[in-house]
Amino acid sequence: MRDQFNLSGDFRGALLNIHSSLEGANQRVQPDPVALSDLAVTLNEVLELLRAQLRAVEPEQREAAQEFVAATAGVVDAAASAKPDRTLVQAAAQKVLEGGKALVKASPLTASTVKTIVEIVEKVVTFLGK
């Protein structure tokens, strides 16, 4: 049986708490594809900045740089797909975190950009984890 509440009077500024429960209801929560694609676009923009910085990287440090860029591009591709695979994005994100540490050691010049990329990647993973 449904509960019925009849309220009258002036309730301005009042807080009303009514206990209720739903029966036979379903809820489906999915990532917002627009917000996720916005993160992917931002990540791509920062990645382009990093690519420009990497032109100044010494040849012996380029391997770490290339691995980091490839891992970051993997996150962008996985997150921008129509149905992002959380496991795939998380695996790519782990490579970004590891690659970021290696790149900063190899080329401290990139530390700020790498930090920004890692933060965005973490947002993507958190967003998909919702």
pLDDT of residue 32: 58
| Residue 123 vs residues 17, 34, 61: alpha-carbon distances, Å | 34, 14, 27
pLDDT tens digits, 67-103: 888 888 888 887 777 777 888 888 888 988 888 888 8
Q: Tell me if 50 is assigned to some domain.
A: yes
Domain limits for position 89: 33-129
Task: Say what the pTM is.
Answer: 0.63
pLDDT band at 120 (very low <50, low <70, confident <90, very high): confident
Q: Tell me if 17 is assigned to some domain.
A: no
Structural tokens at position 96: 């970004």
pLDDT of residue 31: 55
Rounded to 5 degrees, φ, ψ at 127 are: -60, -45
* Cα angle 65-124-72, degrees, rounded to a multiple of 5: 15
Count of domains for the chain? 1
Q: What CA–CA distance (Å, rounded) separates 117 from 74?
A: 13
